């Protein structure tokens, strides 16, 4: 039987999806062909073709994750988790065109399917799972802390609950009352949305929350999170994000005309009244092009630590205790 796939023939709703014949390429070195048994369906699939004006991308392949069995594997190729032979059960994530009967994809995006999961569960594992892992990572959640998870009964929220439990953290999760059992099943303490949410969160977590993880993006979630936070601990005083500054207490601020002088309580100053600073290492200079036929030099700067938003997971937002 010929292979088929779904594509978005235009921008719009689900009515623009069309099933067409597909020619699946033979895998070359570093590639794997997967016979698809289940496809992960995510909001990101729809968002990709819901609106746009660049018609050169049409027809657009749809689907970022699948599960199935290896139909063919390129020469001298291993899958991302190692090994891989024809017939192995696998899943693949961050691919393009997963809504298909078969796909040829980069081997490093293919991983062995956990035996405990069936194909549908495996196909929906990684987009939600990696989003949840990133949220816990960028907020630096640690054992013994309590976190607030908005949208705890959704795919990302459930994964956050599971991973937080493995970290030794306690999770309070917002959900509708009909989904309370889901939140409890995965180790969370459910609280209902709506008026009075902040009071209910404070009651469920009187110790305060260390981090708020927002998987829904509602105004209510944004408004409630700061009021539920715990008192800032030393480890929370290190704020992530380039260019962010803490507002100093009034007794440590410089007065008018004191720019360049040490703040009250600052390290010892030199005889001229200037604070000593460690000498910064010189940056290496590397040649770069400055235009047609011209060469110059630009500083080679070490990359700063930063958290980048992911186009697949941008609705998910995180707030660390003490951040504005």
**pLDDT at 239 > cutoff 60:** no
Arithmetic mean of pLDDT, 241-258: 44
Q: pLDDT for 189-217, tens place per residue?
A: 999 999 999 999 999 999 999 999 999 88
Rounded Cα gap, residues 40 and 121, in angstroms: 8
Per DSSP, helices labelled H in the chain are: 43-50, 119-123, 126-138, 155-167, 180-185, 197-204, 219-227
* β-strand partners of 174: 191
- CA gyration radius, the chain: 25
Same topology for domains 4-124 and 128-234+313-320, yes or no? no
Average model confidence (pLDDT) across the chain: 80
The residue with tokens 């660390």 is 320
Note the pLDDT tens digit of each residue in 307-321: 333 445 444 555 555
Is 128-234+313-320 a domain of CATH 3.40.50.720?
Answer: yes
Spans of all domains in the chain: 4-124, 128-234+313-320
Lowest mean pLDDT among 57-61, 199-203, 247-251: 247-251
Please name the fold of domain 4-124.
Answer: Quinone Oxidoreductase; Chain A, domain 1 (3.90.180)
Residue 237: how many CB atoms within 10 A of its CB?
A: 10
pTM: predicted TM-score of the whole model, two decimal places: 0.67
């Amino acid at each position: 039987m010929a292979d088929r796939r779904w594509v978005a023939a235009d921008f719009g709703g689900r009515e623009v999806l069309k099933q067409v014949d597909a020619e699946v390429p033979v895998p070359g070195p570093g590639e794997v062909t997967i016979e698809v048994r289940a496809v992960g369906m995510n909001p990101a699939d729809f968002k990709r073709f819901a609106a746009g004006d660049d018609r050169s991308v049409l027809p657009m392949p749809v689907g970022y994750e699948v599960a199935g069995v290896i139909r063919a594997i390129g020469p001298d190729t291993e899958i991302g988790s190692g090994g891989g032979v024809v017939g192995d059960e696998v899943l693949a994530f961050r691919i393009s065109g997963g809504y298909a009967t078969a796909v040829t994809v980069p081997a490093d995006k293919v991983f062995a399917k956990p035996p405990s999961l069936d194909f549908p569960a495996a196909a929906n594992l990684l987009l939600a799972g990696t989003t949840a892992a990133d949220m816990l990572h960028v907020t630096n959640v640690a054992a013994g802390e309590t976190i607030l998870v908005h949208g705890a009964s959704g795919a990302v929220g459930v994964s956050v609950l599971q991973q937080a439990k493995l970290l030794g953290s306690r999770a309070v999760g917002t959900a509708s009352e009909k989904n309370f059992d889901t939140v409890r099943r995965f180790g969370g303490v459910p609280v209902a949305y709506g008026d009075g949410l902040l009071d209910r969160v404070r009651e469920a977590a009187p110790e305060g929350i260390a981090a708020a993880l927002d998987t829904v993006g509602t105004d209510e979630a944004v408004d409630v999170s700061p009021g539920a936070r715990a008192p800032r601990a030393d480890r929370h005083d290190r704020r992530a994000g380039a260019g962010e500054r803490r507002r100093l207490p009034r007794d440590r601020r410089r007065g008018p005309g004191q720019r360049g002088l040490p703040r009250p309580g600052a390290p010892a100053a030199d005889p001229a009244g200037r604070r000593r600073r460690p000498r910064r290492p010189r940056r290496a200079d590397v040649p770069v092009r400055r235009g047609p036929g011209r060469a110059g030099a630009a500083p080679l700067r070490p990359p700063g630590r930063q958290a980048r938003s992911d186009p697949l997971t941008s609705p998910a937002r995180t707030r660390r205790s003490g951040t504005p």
